[in-house]
Amino acid sequence: MQIPQDLIDTAKFKLKSVQSEAEFFQLRSQYLGKKSYVISAFASLKSLDPIEKVLAAKELNILKGKLTTIFEEALEVIQHIDDASSLDVTLPADPYLVGAEHPISKVAERVMSYFSALNYQVFSGNEIETDYFNFEALNFPENHPARQMHDTFYIKSKSKSEYLLRTHTSNSQIHSMLREPLPLYMLSPGRVYRCDSDTTHLPMFTQIEGLVVDEDITFGDLKGIIINFLEYFFDEKMEVRFRPSYFPFTEPSAEVDIKFGDNGWLEILGCGMVHPNVLANCNIDTKKYRGFAFGMGIERLAMLRYGVQDIREFYSSNLDFLNQFTS
């Protein structure tokens, strides 16, 4: 019996141009249907002699098997194509809401991530504080004009101590120096309060202060970490200027300016070497230990980073504003 050898090749070739299941089944019946060559050939085996019949049957079975496999595989591909193309994948996803951290949180985390890598511990502290921890211990003597630099909110209290809303997070540094072992590398992030409100001032804002107390700390250490931090924060080489200033709790004190855009020098943070009176108030041996401290307003950094004009936007809970930030 003569079995055509190109049957498989032609079947493969024709399957390539099949577009739908209907076309597929039509083609399959040509090759494997009742009237197909293979099936009708089985019928014609009867007329052969026994030896030839066995050989031909074996060959036909192999051929039928190969064809069946080819068509099964092709069917899978065709059905798969049909399934996938039945969806318009460009239709919208089910309803969803996109979350985001607040820009102030994001900026605060960016600041903290730099210092965490240097093993700075984080102590947040109390927002309602006594006069002693907010001022006295920080070398703001009573009746000193420096206190006028801070417009303070006071709290009604039955206690002898005067309670207030902290005007900076430095209170947390005093508590930490009294409590924690030295050397101390710490950050005090948190909310602080001043009775003030306009487009660049809020009665509450966010501060991150840092403090290091260790042996052999120098002013050069302070300069180094501040410059390095600013370059990390703004992601570029920065022109940084340190100029003398005054804070009761540091001596010497400095304001740090950066060149930002076309605005010339821009004040970005305050810092200095911890005042020996402050260390002494925390029972720290000033002969052995020195320290530096720095502090920055997060809203101000966020305004610079995102180009926000009105500081009040941050606390407006206006989603038109907040939706522009993603985490």
Partner 1 sequence: MKVQYSYLKIFLPTALSQAKLADVFTKVGFECELDGPIIDFDVTPNRGDALSLRGLKREFQAHQSKKLKDTLSYKKLKFKKDKTVINKIDKTGCGNYHLMTITGLSSIKNLDSKKRNFLSAAGVPLISPLVDLGNYVMFEIGAPMHVFDLDLLDLPINVLFNFNNEPFQIIGGDLKNLEDSSLTIQDQKGVQAVAGIIGGEKTSVSKNTTSIAVEAAFFHPDKIVNQARKYGLATDASHRFERGVDPAIQKKALERFLFLLDDIAEYDAVKCIEGNSQALKTKFVSLSIERFNNFSGLMLTAKMISSLLQNLGFDLKSTNKKNLSFEVPSHRFDISLEEDLYEEILRCYGYDNIPINPPKRGPIRSKNKISITSALKTGLVFGGFKELMHMPFVSEENFMKLNSHSRKPAELLNPINENEPMMRNSLFEGLFSAINLNVKKGYSSLKVFESGNVFHSRGKNFIQHEHISGIVYNHEPQKSWDSKVIPYDFYSFKAEIYKLLLTLGVDNLQLEPNSNIKAFNFNSMNILSGKKVIGALGEIDLAVTHKLIKNTAFGFELYPEEISYNSKVIELKPISKFPSSTRDINILINKSHTYMDVQKILTNGSINFLNNFALVNTFEGKGIPDGLISMTLSFIFQSADKSLKDSEINDSMNQVLRTLKKSFKVEIRS
Per CB under 8 A, contacts with partner 1 among 223-262 are: 223-225, 227-229, 241-246, 251-255
Looking at residues 174 to 213 of the shown chain, list those that interact with partner 1 (rule: CB under 8 A).
Answer: 183-185, 191, 195, 197, 202-204, 212
CA-wise closest residue to 187 among 250, 125, 274, 280: 125
Give the three-state DSSP class for 237.
coil
Burial-class residue 298 by CB neighbours within 10 Å (0-12, 13-18, 19+): buried
Give the three-state DSSP class for 217.
coil
Which lies closer to partner 1 via its Cβ, residue 18 or residue 211? 211
Provide, rounded to whole angstroms, the least separation between the CB of residue 199 and partner 1. Answer: 15
CA–CA distance from 148 to each of 16, 97, 247 (Å)?
87, 46, 12
Applying CB under 8 A, the span of 10-18, 20-28, 140-148, 301-309 interacting with partner 1 comes to 140-148
- 91 lies in the binding site for partner 1 (CB under 8 A): yes
Write the binding mask 279 to 308 for partner 1: x where contact by CB under 8 A, - elsewhere: -----------x------------------
What CA–CA distance (Å, rounded) separates 110 from 302?
10
Q: Which one of residues 14, 64, 102, 175 is an interface residue with partner 1 (CB under 8 A)?
A: 102
Provide, rounded to whole angstroms, the least separation between the CB of residue 307 and partner 1. Answer: 19
CA angle 206, 210, 211 (to 5 degrees): 145
Which lies closer to partner 1 via its Cβ, residue 33 or residue 276? 276
Provide, rounded to whole angstroms, the least separation between the CB of residue 1 and partner 1. Answer: 54
Q: Which one of residues 32, 38, 39, 100 is an interface residue with partner 1 (CB under 8 A)?
A: 100
Provide, rounded to whole angstroms, the least separation between the CB of residue 293 and partner 1. Answer: 14
- Determine if residue 143 is left, alpha or beta; phi over 0 gives left, psi from -120 to 50 gives alpha, anything else beta: left
Looking at residues 142 to 171 of the shown chain, list those that interact with partner 1 (rule: CB under 8 A).
Answer: 143-146, 148-149, 153-159, 163, 165
Provide, rounded to whole angstroms, the least separation between the CB of residue 212 and partner 1. Answer: 7
Provide, rounded to whole angstroms, the least separation between the CB of residue 129 and partner 1. Answer: 9
Provide, rounded to whole angstroms, the least separation between the CB of residue 265 and partner 1. Answer: 8
Q: Which one of residues 10, 40, 116, 200 is an interface residue with partner 1 (CB under 8 A)?
A: 116
What CA–CA distance (Å, rounded) separates 273 from 303?
28
E-state strands within 50-98: none
- Tokens 């009237």 belong to which residue? 35
Which lies closer to partner 1 via its Cβ, residue 5 or residue 85? 85
Provide, rounded to whole angstroms, the least separation between the CB of residue 99 and partner 1. Answer: 4
Tokens of 290: 């020195």
Give the three-state DSSP class for 214.
strand
- 218 lies in the binding site for partner 1 (CB under 8 A): yes
Tokens of 214: 């260790």
- 23 lies in the binding site for partner 1 (CB under 8 A): no
Instruction: Give me the DSSP letters along 111-159.
Output: HHHHHHTTT-EE----SEEEHHHHTGGGT--TT-GGGGGS---EE--SS
Tokens of 325: 């930030």
